[in-house]
């Protein structure tokens, strides 16, 4: 298991010490312990922790919630709350900061470990999704550039026999008549037109058309079946188990 770095922000010395002992036993690295907001911000800059544990009511004030807001908006780190409060108003205010979990005092070491693992897993998963979406957006931008470049910056791309794809409206035409396709169906045609003569794999199609949705190869096959029923001629070729192409 990766040795995650943790910052503890707790103004009760006994609770802070118990947290530190429990965390170290479970293989975490406690980079620092502090009891106030200003010190916590400085230690975040110095130690760049993987996650922060924050007492909601630092020094009997709302500093814990204020600190959490700052961590979320400026430092983009995951954090979980440590609290002995059950007051609905406090919990409601704390929830608005979108914490990755809560630990109730007195805490149970096993629950603490489980809460941290779930928080870290959720945070890392979110970062992976963000990276995937960012890469997909870049890939789509590159596809647009490729289409315009290959067509000498002209928006109307002619392909097959009598077909045309209009980049301005992202629609497919046959003999100057628009073919009524859905957004996903036109996206599929666009992808194949960008790679004329080359096989576009199932994975490429899924990533381009469905983004982060849970599509499968059968989803692609169903899409192609619907498109073929709408096209005047059969221009979509398939390579069994690999993907599709247009000559």
Is 157's pLDDT higher than 90? no
Identify the band that residue 195 occupies on the pLDDT scale cut at 50, 70 and 90. Answer: confident
CA 112, 115, 117 angle in degrees (round to 5)?
105
Give the residue among 149, 153, 132 at the shortest CA–CA distance from 207. Answer: 132
Residue 191's pLDDT is: 87
Which has the closest alpha carbon to 93: 70, 52, 64?
A: 64
For residue range 88-103, what is the model confidence (pLDDT) as tens digits?
677 788 888 889 998 8
pLDDT at 136 over 60: no
Residue 139 has pLDDT above 80, yes or no: no
Write down the mean pLDDT value for the chain: 87
The pLDDT of residue 22 is 93
Cis peptide before 106 (omega within 30 of 0): yes
Percent of the chain with pLDDT over 90: 50
Cβ–Cβ under 8 Å, residues 188 and 224: yes
Q: Identify the DSSP state of 241.
A: T
For residues 243 and 205, the answer to whether their CB atoms sit within 8 Å is yes
The domains found in the chain, sorted by start residue, are: 5-130 (3.40.50.2300), 151-246 (1.10.10.10)
Q: Which two tokens stand for residue 179?
A: 């073919």
d(CA 68, CA 9): 10
Residue 135 has pLDDT above 70, yes or no: no
Mean pLDDT of 214-218: 90
Please tell me the predicted confidence (pLDDT) of residue 92.
80
Rounded to whole angstroms, how far apart are CA atoms 55 and 28?
19
Residues 6+ apart with CB under 8 A from 72: 79, 97, 98
Q: What is the pLDDT of residues 52-88, one digit of tens each?
A: 999 988 766 668 888 999 999 999 999 999 887 656 6
Give the distance, in angstroms, between the CA of residue 130 and the centroid of all CA atoms in the same chain. 3
């Amino acid at each position: 298991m990766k040795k995650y770095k943790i910052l503890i922000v707790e103004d009760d010395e006994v609770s802070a010490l118990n947290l530190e002992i429990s965390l170290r036993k479970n293989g975490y690295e406690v980079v620092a312990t502090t009891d106030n907001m200003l010190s916590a911000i400085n230690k975040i800059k110095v130690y760049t922790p993987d996650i922060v544990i924050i007492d909601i009511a630092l020094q009997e004030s709302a500093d814990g919630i204020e600190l959490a807001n700052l961590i979320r908006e400026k430092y983009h780190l995951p954090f979980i709350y440590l609290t002995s409060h059950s007051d609905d108003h406090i919990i409601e205010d704390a929830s608005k900061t979108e914490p990755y979990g809560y630990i109730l005092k007195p805490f149970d070491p096993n629950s603490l470990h489980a809460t941290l693992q779930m928080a870290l897993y959720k945070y890392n998963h979110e970062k992976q999704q963000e990276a995937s979406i960012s890469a997909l957006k870049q890939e789509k931008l590159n596809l647009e550039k490729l289409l315009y470049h290959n067509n000498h910056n002209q928006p109307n791309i002619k392909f097959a026999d009598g077909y045309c794809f209009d980049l301005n409206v992202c629609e497919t035409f046959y003999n100057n008549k628009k073919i009524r396709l859905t957004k996903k169906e036109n996206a599929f045609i666009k992808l194949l037109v960008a790679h004329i003569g080359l096989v576009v794999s199932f994975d490429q199609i899924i990533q381009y058309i469905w983004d982060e949705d849970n599509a499968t190869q059968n989803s692609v096959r169903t899409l192609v079946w619907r498109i073929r029923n709408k096209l005047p001629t059969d221009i979509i070729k398939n390579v069994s188990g690999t993907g599709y192409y247009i000559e």
